Amino acid sequence: MLLLLVWLAIGGLIIGGLGRLLVPGPNPIGLIRTALIGLAGSFLGGFVARYAIGLHYRYSLLAGFILAVIFAAIIVAAIDRRPSARR
């Protein structure tokens, strides 16, 4: 169980980091937020690839990964565009 959580955190960091690279400009979010964004993006990407598009096992892994990075970039852009409380 602990190993699963470690792998989820590493996967979240990778997908979140790739999502941050797709969004231009500085992204002032930390490492934990990056991992959480990556986890949310991977969940959304896997869900869309498997259930909404209906891809089978052969193609769902690659499409899920690509969609996960795209969803992570969308989440990073949404967080980056919100008005900040600091001025």
- pTM for the predicted model, two decimal places: 0.81
Angle of the 57-81 helix axis to the 31-47 helix axis, nearest 10:
140
pLDDT tens digits in sequence order for the chain, 87 residues long: 778 778 878 888 899 999 989 988 887 888 888 888 989 988 888 778 777 777 666 666 777 788 889 999 999 998 877 766 454
All structural domains of the chain with their residue ranges: 2-81
Q: What is the pLDDT of residue 58?
A: 63
Q: Do the Cβ atoms of 13 and 51 come closer than 8 Å?
A: no
Rg (C-alpha) for the chain, rounded Å, is 14
CA distance 55 to 45: 12
Task: Quickly list DSSP for 32-56.
Answer: HHHHHHHHHHHHHHHHIIIIIS---
Q: What is the pLDDT of residue 74?
A: 92
